[in-house]
Amino acid sequence: MCGIVAYVGSKVARPILLEGLKRLEYRGYDSAGIAVLTGGKLHVARRVGRVANLQEAIEGQAAFDGSLGLCHTRWATHGGVTDFNAHPHTDDRHGIALVHNGIIENYAALKTYLQEKGHSFSSQTDTEVLVMLIGELYEGDLEKAVQAALREVTGAYAICVICEKEPGVLVCARKGSPLMVGIGSDNEYVVASDGAAIIAHTGRVVMLDDYNVVKMDAGGFRTTDIHNTPLSPRVQQLEIELEQIELGGFTHFMLKEIFEQPKSVRACISGRLDMREGRVVLGGLSSFAKELTKARRVVITAQGTALHAAMIGRYMLEDLAKIPTQTEYASEFRYRNPVIEENTVVIAVSQSGETADTLAALHEAKERGALALGVVNVVGSSIARETDAGVYLRVGPEIGVASTKAFIGQVTVLSLISMYMARKRFMSADQCLDLMKEMEAIPGKIERILEQAGRIKRITEKYVERENWLFLGRGYNYPTALEGALKLKEISYIHAEGMPAAEMKHGPIALINEGMPAVFIANRGRQYEKVMSNIQEVRSRGGHVIAVATEGDTEIAKHVQDVMYVPDVCEPLSPILTVVPLQLMAYYAAVARGHDVDKPRNLAKSVTVE
Ligand code: F6R
């Protein structure tokens, strides 16, 4: 949440900052701001709305042509969406400007202290308190003032700071919120919340750890902790390419990412299926093979879409590996005093690897003695670094705020983990081989579904004016129903509920009226007949049924209004196919309703606050 970019070097900072900021807009897009030091003077502009508004506001102004600057795109936490609350914030004494992602939890007490010292505030933000505190502690050395201020704050932060009195110096720091320093040639640095804003300039980065403070200037960079102890950071290569973060001819990143899914699954399984031995190879887990064999319980924790993937993972772990498994909202798990017995494995599932609640749940689990595994997409992210071991999704950067290819990657990885653990217990090589063959065929099957995009669009457009939808599924496809409803809600703002198809009779059936769309996941499987009965229950009350069914099932078309077909597949892997038409439906509904698909209202990609 919130995106930060800062630059120091010999070039004009503005285009680097604004281009970078546009690439981070998916992290928040309430308002944007920039501060540049030009001719020894700080120039600041802030605007409600998108980065494009800000760009227009400073167009042609030479005051923003300096080579040291920082900028920010905001997802509001403290204080409404106004120009005054937008970042950067400045102090009232030394010409210090700061951008911040996170929450300063003790800001109220610090604000009272600073007011007593004579500082006056112009915003309602916690961030302005932090920059005033740095100003209060400033004695001619920005790095020291930042370290001193950070010793006083509690909460989470990724910050970049500049000061009129030190024209070539950029200082940044992190605790809890992501930040990385891109190292260009000739002492040029681009600092950003994620690599998307850096990769056009350099692939060499330092990922900051908690409590790291980095000072950059023409003489190089140095890293310390907040007590000024020097540290030796590891320089690493960014694992993204420019074309992965560009639209490449698609109208939206969400559509691009839906169409990338065959490639995502191929990347995800590549080198992980040993067809000769009938086993799954997961290098990331190999040093914990013994612990995984002994595991008596698995807890999978996540939020949102990642939790829906986790729920499918639970079904697979119990069904295939026979290990008692539970899923937990990370936000609940972290506070509810969970019981973690010996030999419990906790798996944190997260696209970004930065979700605050999932990270905190992971800490909780580790403290209670669990083996902590990560199923993460972003390489080097906080969750990836703090788990004992893990398996990356390898689906590439996901830019669309509504998660699609990461969901497919999460389900794929969880199925690989289930097969891996199953083989260590009861599953024979032949059984595993059968599943792996099904897995290998998945990308081609997703391609077949994508070929029907035009038909799915036409079906969606028939119902797009309806304000209430139901999504119903059973077994492995109950979580798929939840995911279908979430996708529709978040980008088309249509109210949708997902639930187990059998649960409908226990209350929600009262909602069904003439023409209400009910999307049933009715692919062939153990509960097919039961789902068909549930379909009749909806039909007899006037609901309109849209079914996701298995290719060749011509019978179902006689009982429902519309059918979207998916190829046949074994049940555990079926959600990887059945979710695709639902993603496309949500996309086409949002487009038909005229919404900004990649930047839905009130949302941000990476939820780094509680
Ligand atoms: C919905 C969506 C969110 C995320 C959730 C967790 O489309 O993207 O529900 O799944 O915020 O995010 P990660 O996976 O980054 O932990």
Task: Say how many Å lie between the CA of residue 305 and the centre of ligand 1.
Answer: 5
Ligand 1 proximity of 351 Cβ (cutoff 6 Å): yes
Give the SS3 label for residue 433.
helix
**How would you write 518-541 as a 3-class SS string?**
EEEEECCCCCHHHHHHHHHHHHCC
Torsion of CA 153, 154, 155, 157, to 10 degrees: 30
CB distance 303 to ligand 1 below 6 Å: yes
In this structure, which CATH number among 3.40.50.620, 2.40.50.140, 3.20.20.70, 3.40.50.10490 belongs to the domain 247-450?
A: 3.40.50.10490
Question: Checking DSSP bridges between strand 204-207 and strand 180-183, what pairing results, if any?
Answer: antiparallel
The residue type of 361 is A
Predicted TM-score (pTM) of the model is 0.91
| Residue extent(s) of CATH 3.40.50.10490 domains in the chain | 247-450, 452-595
Q: How confident is the model at residue 579 (pLDDT cuts 50, 70, 90)?
A: very high
Checking DSSP bridges between strand 468-473 and strand 517-522, what pairing results, if any? Answer: parallel
Listed in order, the ranges of the chain carrying CATH 3.60.20.10 are 3-238
In single-letter form, the type of residue at position 442 comes to I
308 alpha carbon – ligand 1 mean position (Å): 10
380 pLDDT more than 90? no
Evaluate whether 272 touches 280 at the Cβ level (below 8 Å).
yes
| Helix 405-423 vs helix 429-450: crossing angle, to nearest 10 | 170
The closest-lying atom of ligand 1 relative to the alpha carbon of residue 606 is: 15
CB of 526 closer than 8 Å to CB of 485: no
The CB of 352 under 6 Å from ligand 1? The reply is yes
491-523 pLDDT, tens digit per residue, is 999 999 999 999 998 988 899 999 899 999 999
The dihedral formed by the CA atoms of 429, 432, 438 and 442, expressed in degrees to the nearest 10? -120
- 452-595 under CATH 3.40.50.10490, yes or no: yes
Structure tokens at 466: 């309806």
Closest residue by Cα to atom 7, ligand 1, is 402
Q: What is the pLDDT of residues 175-229, one digit of tens each?
A: 988 999 999 998 999 999 999 999 999 999 999 999 999 999 999 999 999 999 9
pLDDT of residue 133: 98
Task: Return the percentage of the chain with pLDDT > 90, whole number.
Answer: 89
Q: Please report which confidence band the pLDDT of residue 242 belongs to, taking 50, 70 and 90 as the band edges.
A: confident
Confidence category of residue 376, pLDDT binned at 50, 70, 90:
very high
**Residue pair 425/321 in contact by the 8 Å Cβ criterion:** yes
Ligand 1 centroid from CA 129, angstroms:
30
Neighbours of 494 (CB within 10 A): 21
305 lines ligand 1 (CB under 6 A): yes
Question: For residue 80, what pLDDT is reported?
Answer: 84
Whose Cα sits closest to atom 16 in ligand 1? 350
Q: What is the pLDDT of residue 186?
A: 86
Domain 3-238 fold is: Glutamine Phosphoribosylpyrophosphate, subunit 1, domain 1 (3.60.20)
What span, in angstroms and rounded, lies between the C-alpha atoms of 348 and 383?
8
Mean pLDDT, the chain, whole residue set: 95
Smallest CA-to-CA distance from 183 within 212, 210, 216, 209 is with: 216
Structure tokens at 265: 């699954």
Measured in angstroms, how far is the CA atom of residue 352 from the centroid of ligand 1? Answer: 8
The residues carrying an active-site annotation are 2, 605
Position 455 pLDDT exceeds 80: yes
Instruction: Point out the ligand 1 atom lying closest to the alpha carbon of residue 355.
Output: 16
What are the C-alpha distances in Å from 267 to residues 157, 272, 339, 497? 33, 10, 36, 32
Q: Which helix (H) or strand (E) holds 263?
A: helix 261-269
